[in-house]
Structure 1
Amino acid sequence: MNIYRGCNHGCIYCDSRSACYGIERFDTVRAKRDALWLIDRELAAKQKKGVVATGSMSDPYNPYEKQEQLTRGALEILARRRFGVAIATKGTLIVRDIPLLQQIRAHAPVLCKLTITAADDALSQKVEPGAPPSCARFEALHALRQAGLYAGILLMPVLPFIEDNQENIGTIISLAAQAGANFIYPAFGMTLRQGQREYYYAQLDARFPGLRGRYVRRFGAQYECASPRAKTLWQFFKKQCDAAGIAYRMDEIVRQYRSGYHAEQTALL
């Protein structure tokens, strides 16, 4: 479910800029015409209930959502149609909809994923200039957890030569634990393809002079660009998450969520 087209978070690494998606004027956010009517119509036709995901192509909590309230309207439809929701966002406006997410949670799954790639606010504003600073996202995560919602962090992409160090990863884990995160799901690297690559390299030239050459030499025209430190970081990441009691493998996250959800539903009966 992508209600908006384009994004103004300005993340220098965004895969949605790739030419294959054909999104013109990507930095201009536009609402899709009749989006809520279409969502309601599609869900009404479903014979089985399920979970609707949002946030894969454009952020559902971009700044315009504050006045447009299209994401909120979609959540109201999901609540009425008794569907669950999985939200991926960098937007702290998600806390506005906590009561609505709790309402959905009473009858269907709710999964909240906040993308955080840099522990340091100055670095996060450098690579994600239009998004809320990381500290505000950690505060939003804490609010979601305090409200009893299943929530955690998408630690992706971890930009090679910029964010792929133990200090950054370790601090994110520590702050996530303080916020009560249920999980952290990582990807130690990034993707680069036509359209996205050219934009990213131009941003490197402007924000991290001299770094483009390291990417060209290391990755060439590769699509998947894993951090050279990926294996070492993964071992460090696992150890730190295990110590903090934070889930990080997908099967573990799903199992943990399902067990908690079913236990809560049983308690409600």
Structure 2
Amino acid sequence: MTVRTIEAKTLLAGHKTPDSWFGIKYTLNLYRGCQHHCIYCDSRSECYGIADFDGEVLVKANAVELLDRELRSKRVKGYVSTGAMNDPYMPVERRLGLTRRVLGVLAARRFPVHVMTKSDLVLRDLDLLGEIEAACGGVTPGAVVSITITCADDALARQLEPAAPPPSARFAAIAELAAHGICAGVLLMPVLPFIEDDPENIRQVVTRAHAAGARHVIPSW
């Protein structure tokens, strides 16, 4: 899979009405394409216009500078979300640290954040998530991490999400986040028909999420 840099013109997308789950006001994506190769990912749909979603990752090299400039112009603060179109903690992030630098900007500008990921690499940035939590004293919680877990079985997950960390590592990440006072939970989505929709799988995901200290489980088809 190739990785190359691009210069983005804008970064933040605003929402007139914050979403009903977490009050997300702004969204951003630091990459185009994703290295996790999940078989069910709808981000590769033609409607998004990403030509080679599974073969190339485009890195928004100027994301940090863009974000700082765009946040300065925002009169209304609100949750900034990342992870909707691709994973902010895909393997290339370990080397580039782009998500980490963006979290630093959010902490400095006192904007709350909601991170969505399938990777336990998010634990690398516990310090910055804690800084955001402390900086956003008027917003509770200041930092939210939602980890996608669609099945409890590591072997099945390897077939569905071949390049993502196994569910066992993700449950452990939730436990570590919760132990450090970060609001963490599970995105149980999508639930694949005839593969993941049996009651036992759903029961296992919810039970293990609760045991790990998850504050929420959000299911969707």
Structure 1 residues 192-231: aligned runs within 5 Å: none
Q: Bigger CA drift: 169-178 or 111-120?
A: 169-178
Q: Give the secondary-structure state (helix, strand or coil) at the position aligned to 2:204.
A: helix
Q: Give the secondary-structure state (helix, strand or coil) at the position aligned to 1:88.
A: strand
Q: 1:103 aligned to 131, 139, 151, which one?
A: 131
Q: 2:214 aligned to 170, 181, 184, which one?
A: 181
Mapped pair 1:14 → 2:50: no
Normalization by structure 2: what TM-score? 0.83
Q: 1:115 aligned to 136, 148, 172, which one?
A: 148
Aligned residues: 188
1:151-209 deviation digits (Å, cap 9, x = unpaired): 1000000000100001101111111111011110001x3xxxxxxxxxxxxxxxxxxxx
Mapped pair 1:42 → 2:75: no
Q: Give the secondary-structure state (helix, strand or coil) at the position aligned to 2:105.
A: helix
In the TM superposition, residue 6 of structure 1 has moved relative to its aligned partner by 0.4
1:117-152 deviation digits (Å, cap 9, x = unpaired): 010000111111110000000010111000001110
1:68 alignment counterpart: 96
1:232-266 deviation digits (Å, cap 9, x = unpaired): xxxxxxxxxxxxxxxxxxxxxxxxxxxxxxxxxxx
Task: Provide the C-alpha distance between the structure 2 equivalents of 1:161 and 1:103, rounded to a whole number of angstroms.
Answer: 42
1:128 alignment counterpart: 161
Higher-Rg member (1/2) = 1
Q: Give the secondary-structure state (helix, strand or coil) at the position aligned to 2:162.
A: coil
Task: Provide the C-alpha distance between the structure 2 equivalents of 1:168 and 1:23, rounded to a whole number of angstroms.
Answer: 33
Structure 1 residue runs of 4 or more that deviate by more than 6 Å after TM superposition:
none
Task: Provide the C-alpha distance between the structure 2 equivalents of 1:92 and 1:116, rounded to a whole number of angstroms.
Answer: 12
Q: Give the secondary-structure state (helix, strand or coil) at the position aligned to 1:31.
A: strand
User: What's the Cα RMSD here?
Assistant: 0.8
Q: Bigger CA drift: 151-160 or 107-116?
A: 107-116
Q: Which has the higher helix share?
A: 1
**Structure 1 residues not aligned, in runs of 5+:** 190-269
Structure 1 residues 231-250: aligned runs within 5 Å: none
Q: Bigger CA drift: 132-141 or 44-53?
A: 44-53
